[in-house]
């Protein structure tokens, strides 16, 4: 079994030795930093090539959201942590339920702060952890594995497909080598890492960019943004309370005290406050307008 895994790994792009950094151990601090930075410059270009596939993924996710579905990430190690990170940032940024976007990591929450390397080797555990979340055919699962081959992730993907759900996959190996059956594969190939096999580097950066693009674009398509401002944020901290007031002030031209007053009347909901101001209606009418406009402010304020 070990030899099988050895043979499987040795030819992966993510496990190859980077010819540009062969002597990095002999370099000065400045030169090491420059070498890392030079390699990082390849990341956005690799992601750019995958935009057509990221677009397909967004359509899948938005369709699920509009049909009472949820979006799940599943991964191990760095990939799992990135999924959990992206999911955890959606509620405060876009005002959605923590249930809407969820991250599942091999080894559970303890793996977020301390590596649980052996947890990724069991495909059945991936399926089990997915089912424990109440995953259904209306949901979407996005597997994340820089090397493509992570058994835990593949097990979860197989389970999702058995349930009839849509599946996505983010990997940093070439599309030509993608042998996992999913609806959309996103494959930003960033090349060998600065330190051989350390996919928390370029592969991790590429993955973070892709996940940002999927959820951010999906939320924009749900009306969570007005112009380029997040207007469905939750006022759960002093910073977010003040950001909410600033957004209202920027859009409406009102004073600090006036913005504060409107937010209080709107129950702290920025979108409602803005529609109240821009359409000159009361809270009840503003909420009704937003509902009829699918959450889009620019539609809600039209006569």
Q: For position 61, what pLDDT does the model report?
A: 98
**DSSP reduced 3-state for 213:** helix
Yes or no: say if 187 and 50 are a contact pair by the CB < 8 Å rule.
yes
Q: For position 3, what pLDDT does the model report?
A: 60
User: What residues are labeled active site?
Assistant: 89, 120
Q: For position 7, what pLDDT does the model report?
A: 59
In the chain the domains, ranked by start, together with CATH numbers, are: 9-220 (3.40.50.10490), 225-300 (1.10.8.1080)
- CA pair distance 74, 165, nearest whole angstrom: 14
Q: For position 16, what pLDDT does the model report?
A: 87
- CA pair distance 233, 242, nearest whole angstrom: 11
From first to last of its 303 residues, what are the pLDDT tens digits of the chain?
A: 556 666 566 667 888 899 999 999 999 999 999 999 999 999 999 999 999 999 999 999 999 999 999 999 999 999 999 999 999 999 989 999 999 999 999 998 888 888 766 778 889 999 999 999 999 999 999 999 999 989 999 999 999 999 999 999 999 999 999 999 999 999 999 999 999 999 999 999 999 999 999 999 999 999 999 999 999 987 778 998 999 999 999 999 999 999 999 999 999 999 999 999 999 999 999 999 999 999 999 999 986
Distances (CA, A) of 167 to 72, 87, 103, 257: 10, 17, 14, 48
User: What is the value of pTM for the model shown?
Assistant: 0.92
């Amino acid at each position: 079994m070990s030899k099988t895994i050895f043979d499987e790994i040795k030819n992966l792009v993510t496990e190859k030795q980077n010819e540009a950094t062969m002597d990095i151990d002999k370099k000065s601090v400045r030169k090491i930093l420059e070498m890392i930075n030079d390699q990082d410059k390849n990341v956005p270009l690799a992601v750019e090539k995958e935009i057509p596939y990221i677009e397909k993924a967004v359509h899948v996710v938005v369709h699920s959201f509009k049909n009472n579905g949820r979006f799940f990430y599943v991964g191990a190690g760095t990939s799992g942590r990135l999924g959990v990170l992206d999911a955890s940032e959606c509620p405060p940024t876009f005002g959605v339920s923590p249930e809407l976007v969820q991250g599942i990591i091999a080894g559970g929450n303890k793996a977020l702060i301390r590596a649980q390397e052996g947890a990724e080797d069991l495909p059945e555990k991936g399926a089990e952890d997915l089912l424990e979340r109440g995953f259904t055919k209306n949901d979407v699962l996005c597997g994340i594995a820089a090397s493509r081959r992570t058994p835990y992730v593949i097990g979860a993907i197989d389970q999702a497909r058995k349930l009839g759900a849509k599946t996505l996959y983010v990997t940093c190996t070439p599309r030509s080598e993608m042998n996992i059956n999913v609806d959309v594969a996103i494959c930003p190939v960033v090349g060998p890492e600065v330190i051989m096999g350390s996919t928390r580097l370029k592969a991790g950066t590429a993955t973070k960019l892709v996940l940002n693009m999927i959820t951010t674009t999906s939320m924009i398509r749900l009306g969570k943004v007005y112009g380029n401002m997040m207007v469905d944020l939750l006022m759960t901290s002093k910073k977010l309370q003040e950001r909410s007031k600033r957004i209202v002030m920027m859009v409406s031209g009102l004073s600090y005290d006036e913005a504060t007053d409107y937010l209080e009347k709107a129950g702290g909901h920025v979108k409602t406050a803005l529609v109240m101001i821009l359409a000159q209606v009361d809270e009840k009418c503003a909420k009704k307008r937003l509902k009829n406009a699918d959450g889009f402010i620019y539609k809600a304020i039209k006569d």
